[in-house]
Structure 1
Amino acid sequence: MNGREDLLARLRELERANRALTRELHDLRALMDTPLNVMLFSLDLNYNYIAFNQAHREFVKHNWNLDIHPGMHVFDILDPEERAASRRNFDRVLKGESYILRRRYRRPKGEIGFYQNTYVPLVRGGEILGAVVFAHDITEWSEREEEGRKYRAIFEKALEGIYRSTAQGRFLEANREMARILGYDSPEDLMASVTNIGRQLYCDPDDRERVFSVIRSDGVIKDFETRMRRKDGSEIWVEFNARSEKDDQGRTAFIEGKLTDITARKDAERKAELRSQKMIQADKMASLGVLVAGVAHEINNPNSFLTLNLPLLRDVWADALHVLDEYQEEHGDFVLGGLEYSELRQQMPLLLQGMVDGSGRIKDIVSRLKDYSRQRPEGERESTDLNNVVAGALAFVRHKLKSAAPGYLVRLAPEPALVEADPQRLIQVLINLLVNACEAVPAAGGEITVQVLSNVGENRAWAGVEVRDNGCGIAPLDLKYIQDPFFTTKREQGGTGLGLSISSAIMHEHGGRLEFSSEPGSGTAVRMLLPMTR
């Protein structure tokens, strides 16, 4: 009977561990609801609420006197004039783009509020299921910024281009920095030479129209980024802020603003993580990365009870078997835990082993999630075996690979293929290549091979990973631009054209490169190559 009591005690201990896990999940919900000045909500592809925290619920109730609930249409709380802009913002994130945006809201009583919103796609298994929005009230900060603008202008003139122009696009005034940025000898040279700003300076004439559209509707435009043409014909990236001044009849008297040359910053972003206000590819969704690490930690704690105690429970069962067998011989079959002992004797070892294996699987997944979401110092490198990079990537996309190419092959190197790298960044690149291969192969008969390479390339000094598929291939003309930002052949399917450009930038950061070999209709081979560690 002692064995049976021990078994029951262990089962009760498992039940307590399960309750502890439930409490941890409740604590996580409480953690989301604790910040009263940070709103969090998620929506599905039809703009219906999935979930929200208490701060967002109270905000909507206070400002619109509405009690929101899951399944409710997000636009039901917005004024008609705000719905179009909100739809555009939601559509961007539902197409896969992550970005940060400062929003201006008019509340029901007429007050103006400012919020900094972070938009992140909600993705599972490579499929976009909806979006998550983090909103932080920055009204007080924005008002102080507006009040301080006129006092800072005198200091900014020495560092930024300052100008005033007509609504028709002719300069009225410009400072020397403005002329220098645009490649002119002096402000007088700039104003005499440029008689139509939209036609002569903007590389994209539509940008000028977009600027005026925003200024006409809002009276101000902030942090607008575009390409401009210098006097010598070269192109630069600029960021400018502008506002319109009205006359007594409400017509635009002039437009004034400041302009900054951000070409160096844009080049650095393109080589590094291609971040900008038009292009934030989540940077591994930094805010959600913290949440993933937290959830992984909370799951790992109760799972430790299972990992440590299940082997003991299995040993207890084994030790108790002879007692239970003797009892069965004397009294016949009996019921234990709702099952006849004869059946339970066959099933219990399988159930226990299944729980042990499942607990180990949870531990492995949690460990990889924590590694993947861990924030590393910029430029940190370590000796990395590309065999481990392949294993890490497969942990995240194995299900997708099995679905696209059930017979996919993985060929690891017999010896460690060592490179100096940030392993999580390399996993990010490889995941992107594997997902692309899965999307390229035919619905039936898909073939994908992943192979670790060593001692290849010039002087046999390179190592890498090759992903080869039998998909549709890449046209020669597209192959030239495939690593450029925003270039995509899958625009209709929600492609942003950022995946390969970011992957290419990561490889260049590591002193490596991506190599593509493809023929239309004959599949594609992609190699990610890095210098080997000697």
Structure 2
Amino acid sequence: MVTIPRRFPQTNPGELRKMDTTDIQIDIERKYEQLLNYLTDYIYTVTIKEGVALDTTHGPGCASVTGYTSDDYKKEPDLWYRMVHHKDRAKVLNQARMAIAGIEVGPLEHRIVHKDGTVRWIRNKIAVTKDETGNRVAYVGLINDITDLKKAEAAAALRTRQLIQADKLASLGTLVSGIAHEINNPNSFILLNVQLFSRIWKDIVPILDAYYAENGDFSIAGMLYSGAKEKIGQSIDGVLKGSERIQNITKNLTEYARADSNTLNEPVEINKVVEVAILITGNLIKKSTNNFKVEYGKDLPLIRGNAQQLEQVVINLINNACQSLRDPSAEIKISTYYNAQRNKVRIKVEDQGVGIEPEDLRHIMDPFFTTKRDLGGTGLGLSVSNNIVKSHGGTLIISSKPNQGSTARVSFTAGDTRLPADTPAV
């Protein structure tokens, strides 16, 4: 049999009977208070008389949680309420009123503003004390600082959302690849045949022209040949160019959706990156603005990085610019250029959209922060873009004024190589 040692001096029954009942009660209360102090960060007591709070006493542990001492609370009776975060004051006041009324209330988690100005989270558990007649004489508040717990919960929730979003993006990549494949198959058939029809038309036009010269005008597909000749040629050429455009879009979508190598040491042509991004977002651009401009810098140095990741950055910036516009007449302008003095290759995306409020601009790179939740914004675009740019040793700077528009500036250190002088600008 194992004997468990006692923490406190043993008292034999004879001695216990000799102890005064009041002394025993005091000893029990003292040990109870010690236990509460161990389980809580600090305790406060509110004295009640005839349903009214008369006085509040804050235990010595209050300074470590709130920054205020017991004397501070004595000097300022309303301090307990003022330190509560303004968004939580109503529910804290309601908890106090219910306790004074003798209504049992559960633990309440709320924010307080520490003396140093930081916001902290506490859990407030109230226990009502009654006298022998059942009248409410006080209630005791047991306070626990749960700031670290809340931060851990928020971090865990953020990781969960990021995993969900990453899973969605991975699924979307697979879906895009599949759709692109399904579109490309019939389009390949169209492209092959329209090229054949184009050659046939070019071969047959001289024969039709000779017939027209000898016999005069004639009907073809319900139209006079003199008027139909140019239209048919334009139609065939239009189908050919449209099919080639579909092929380019599906090719770029497939490349964009594929898992990249994560290699950041490939030679990258910034103009090509912007060209691909514009091609992918072309439909959104057309829907958003009638005033879209692009200025490609000539003979730009190559940079070292990952073209696919940088395409994602430019796509995100274009999406943001398009979503910020209030009417189609507003301008979006993209420009690339080289700052030789600083040896930087730069991309600038400007829009004449609604702009960003200064208080929002401070958080614009934060994960999941968005001012366009109603437009389907996830708050990940700029955060992801900023991380990609940083991984390339570059910088992404957003400047904005409400109702005047925004400008995104991306800057990278140029590599050692340049495009040949005879390379045409895209």
TM-score computed with the length of structure 1 as normaliser: 0.46
User: What is the CA deviation profile of residues 121-146 of structure 1, one whole-angstrom value per residue up to 9, with x for unaligned ones?
Assistant: xxxxxxxxxxxxxxxxxxxxxxxxxx
Q: Residue in 1 aligned with 2:261?
A: 377
Q: Secondary structure at the match of 1:237?
A: helix
Preserved CA contact (<8 Å) 2:300 2:337? no
Instruction: Tell me which amino acid in the other structure corresponds to 1:304.
Output: S
Q: Does 2:170 align with 1:286?
A: yes
Please show how residues 414-453 of structure 1 align to structure 2 within 5 Å: 414-443=298-327, 445-453=329-337
Helix, strand or coil for the counterpart of 1:350?
A: helix
| C-alpha deviation, 1:487, in angstroms | 2.4
1:395 deviates by 1.0
What is the rounded CA distance, in whole Å, between the counterparts of 2:194 and 2:374 in structure 1? 50
For 1:32-431, list aligned pairs within 5 A.
Answer: 192=39, 199=109, 229-230=147-148, 237=152, 276-277=160-161, 280-282=164-166, 285-325=169-209, 336-337=220-221, 339=223, 341-379=225-263, 381-431=265-315
CA separation of 1:438 and 1:310: change in aligned 2, threshold 3 A? closer
Q: Using the TM superposition, give the Cα deviation of residue 432 of structure 1 relative to its aligned residue in structure 2, in angstroms.
A: 2.0
Look up the match of 1:522.
404
SS at 1:460 equivalent: coil
Tell me the CA shift for residue 282 of structure 1.
4.4
Q: Which residue of 1 aligns with 2:385?
A: 503
Q: Give how far 1:495 is off.
A: 3.6
Whole-Å separation in 2 of the counterparts to 1:494 and 1:299 = 26
Output the amino acid matched with 1:467.
V
1:196-225 Cα deviation digits (max 9, x unpaired): 99759997679x9xxxxxxxxxxxxxxxxx
Distance 2:234 2:320 in 1: 39
Partner of 1:36: none
Residue 416 of structure 1 aligns with an amino acid whose one-letter code is: L
Say if 1:420 and 1:533, in contact at 8 Å, map to a contact too: yes
Aligned pair in 2 of structure 1 residues 467, 193: CA closer, same or farther (>3 Å)? same
The offset of 1:455, in angstroms, is: 2.9
For residues 383 and 420 of structure 1, the distance between their equivalents in structure 2, rounded to whole angstroms, comes to 5
- Distance in 1 between the 2:324 and 2:161 partners? 30
Matched AA of 1:301: N
SS of 1:452's partner is strand
Max Rg structure: 2
Looking at structure 1, the residues matched to 375 and 208 of structure 2 have their Cα atoms a distance apart, in angstroms, of: 61
Q: Which residue of 1 aligns with 2:362?
A: 480
Matches of 2:238 and 2:396, distance apart in 1 = 42
Aligned position for 2:414: 532
Structure 1 position 387, deviation (Å)? 0.8
**How many Å separate the matches in 2 of 1:198 and 1:419?**
55
For the aligned residues, what is the CA RMSD?
4.0
Letter in 2 for 1:298: E
Q: CA deviation at 1:344?
A: 4.3
1:489 — aligned with what?
371
Partners of 2:353 and 2:295 in 1: how far apart?
20
Most deviating of 337-346 and 464-473 = 337-346
Shift of 1:341: 4.7
Structure 1 portions without partners, runs of 5+: 1-187, 209-226, 240-261, 267-273
Return the offset for 1:194: 6.4
Q: Secondary structure of 1:285's partner?
A: helix
Report the AA paired with residue 384 of structure 1.
Answer: V
> AA paired with 1:498?
L
> Do the aligned partners of 2:394 and 2:410 also contact (CA within 8 Å) in 1?
yes
Q: What secondary structure is seen at the aligned counterpart in 1 of 2:409?
A: strand
CA spacing shift, 1:284–1:525, aligned 2, 3 Å: farther
Q: Structure 1 191/379 Cα, relative in aligned 2: closer, same or farther at 3 Å?
A: farther
Change (3 A) 1:200 1:361: closer
Identity of aligned residues (%): 36
Per the TM alignment, residue 430 of structure 1 is displaced from its structure 2 partner at its CA by: 1.6
Contact preservation (8 Å) 1:389, 1:427: yes
CA distance in 1, matches of 2:230, 2:306: 48
In 1, are the aligned partners of 2:300 and 2:345 still within 8 Å (CA)? no
TM-superposed CA distance for 1:326, in Å, is: 5.2
Q: Residue 416 of structure 1: SS of its match in structure 2?
A: coil
Deviation, 1:380, is 5.3
Cα distance per residue 1:86-122 (max 9 Å; x no partner): xxxxxxxxxxxxxxxxxxxxxxxxxxxxxxxxxxxxx
Question: Residue 453 of structure 1: CA displacement?
Answer: 3.1
State the SS of the aligned residue for 2:346.
strand
**Deviation digits for residues 147-167 of structure 1 (CA, Å, limit 9, x no counterpart):** xxxxxxxxxxxxxxxxxxxxx
The answer to whether the Cα contact below 8 Å between 2:110 and 2:121 also exists between their aligned partners in 1 is no
When residues 498 and 335 of structure 1 are mapped into structure 2, their CA distance, relative to the original with a 3 A threshold, is: same
Q: Does the aligned pair in 1 maintain the 2:336–2:348 contact within 8 Å?
A: yes
- Normalising by the residue count of structure 2, what TM-score does the alignment of the two structures yield? 0.57
Query: 1:429 is aligned with what amino acid?
Result: V
Are 2:357 and 2:401, in contact at CA under 8 Å, matched by a contact in 1?
yes
**Stretch deviating more after TM superposition (387-396 or 283-292):** 283-292
Q: How far is the alpha carbon of 1:515 from its aligned partner?
A: 0.7
Letter of the structure 2 residue corresponding to residue 291 of structure 1: L
Report the Cα offset of residue 486 of structure 1: 2.8
Q: Distance in 1 between matches of 2:296 and 2:410?
A: 15
SS at match of 1:504: helix
Question: Matched residues in 2 for 1:464 and 1:352: separation?
Answer: 40
Q: Distance in 2 between the 1:392 and 1:204 partners? A: 48
| SS of 2:173 mapped into structure 1 | helix
One-letter identity of the residue aligned with 1:237? A
Aligned residue pairs, count: 292
Shift of 1:320: 2.7
